[in-house]
Amino acid sequence: MSTTEQLPRQQFQATEHRVTFPGLVRSEWIKFWSVRSVVVTMVASFVAIIGIGVLTSFATRSALSSADGARAMAAQGFDGVGASLTGAQLGTLIVAAVGVIVIAGEFSTGMIRTSVVTAPRRLGVLGAKAVVLAVNVAVVTGVAVLVAFLLGQAVLNTRDLGSSIGDDGVVRALLGNVAMLVGISLAGLGVGALLRNSAGGICTVVAAIFVLPLLLMPIPDSWGGDRIREFWFNNTIQNATTVSQSDSYLSAGVGFGMFVVWVAVLLGLGALALRSRDV
């Protein structure tokens, strides 16, 4: 009789592990805050929105200290809230770069291959990135916009020119600026997925936001230039980001709807490219 006893073989049962969307979101959240360039850029957006808003408020207060400066400001339609939120315009460039980097950076490093192997349908990866990007940009820039408004109005109140958050149109302007920043970051994500190159994607978004609107200015109204300018990407949401409304742009509600359509189209093109092209 053998001194060693035959141990019964342990029966192992395969366990099925499925990739879930919440799991993808957790993974993308970790990756988002693990990339140094993304963290630095998010901090830069926070500082720029507050810093430029406060500096513009100081400059506005100084201009209003003289009679000539006050008359010039009045002729232009003084908007103290807009002065304190000037930094959000530069913030759009920064968060657009974040959106591009979030996905184009993975193409440059090859990380995207791991992501799509984990989620072969691919669209879940883009959807998770969009959720993580939108939440982080909304929180970071939302706090920055509110702080810029409060500090800017405190500066202007030294000349009794400040506004309170309860005044007409102020909450709309604050939320409109945050929506603009979130939407442009998502547009950057779509462009990044479409072009798969960080430098090319950032240049494309910058041109769309800052360069093309200037090139559209010379188009005469008889050729439909006024309608083209109204419906151009970042022009659509302009009235939703200010207290004073301009007839040169779409109304706040209609403009916000058109802005959402633009963002959805760019994200859709990025999703189509991610789904149909090899990685």
- Asked whether the predicted pLDDT for residue 74 surpasses 60, the reply is no
Of 94, 100, 111, 125, the C-alpha closest to 19 is: 125
Instruction: Give the C-alpha separation, 122 to 116, whole Å.
Output: 5
Residue 206, pLDDT > 60, answer: yes
> What does the pLDDT average to over 237-248?
89
User: How many CB atoms neighbour CB 242 within 10 A?
Assistant: 20
Q: Indicate whether 147 belongs to any domain.
A: yes
Arithmetic mean of pLDDT, 141-163: 90
CA–CA separation, 117 vs 81, rounded Å? 48
For residue 13, being part of any structural domain is answered with no
The number of domains in the chain is 1
**Within a domain: 107:** yes
The whole-angstrom separation of Cα 125 and Cα 121 is 8
Gap between the Cα atoms of 42 and 44, Å rounded: 5
pLDDT over threshold 90, residue 66: no
Q: Cβ-count burial of 277 within 10 angstroms (0-12 exposed, 13-18 middle, 19+ buried)?
A: exposed
Average pLDDT, integer, range 234-255 = 90
pTM of the model as a whole: 0.88
Q: CA torsion sign, 81 to 87 to 92 to 95? A: negative
Give the per-residue pLDDT at 215.
86
Q: Is the pLDDT of residue 193 over 70?
A: yes
Whether 14 maps to a domain, the answer reads no
Q: Can you give the residue range of the structural domain that contains 206?
A: 21-276
Whether residue 168 is predicted with pLDDT greater than 60 in this model: the reply is yes
More confident residue, 135 or 120: 135
Encoded tokens for 146: 């509110």
The more confidently predicted of residues 87 and 65 is: 87
Those residues with Cβ within 8 angstroms of residue 186's Cβ, 6 or more apart along the chain or in another chain: 99, 130, 133, 134, 263, 266, 267
Establish if 87 belongs to a structural domain. yes
Residue 5 lies in a domain: no
Does any domain span residue 10? no
* Mean pLDDT of all residues in 76-90: 84
The closest of 173, 167, 56, 30 to 111, measured between CA atoms, is: 30
What is the percent of the chain with per-residue pLDDT over 70, rounded to a whole number? 89
Q: What is the DSSP letter of 65?
A: T
**The pLDDT value given to residue 76:** 60
The answer on pLDDT for 24 being more than 80 is yes
Taking CA atoms, 61 is separated from 45, 84, 174, 251, in Å, by 24, 11, 21, 29
Gap between the Cα atoms of 73 and 60, Å rounded = 9
Answer yes or no: is 6 within a domain: no
Q: Where residue 18 falls among pLDDT bands split at 50, 70, 90? A: confident
Question: Per-residue pLDDT for 134 more than 90?
Answer: yes
Lowest mean pLDDT among 92-96, 113-117, 200-204, 254-258: 113-117
Most confident region among 39-53, 157-171, 228-242 by mean pLDDT = 39-53
1 has a pLDDT exceeding 90: no
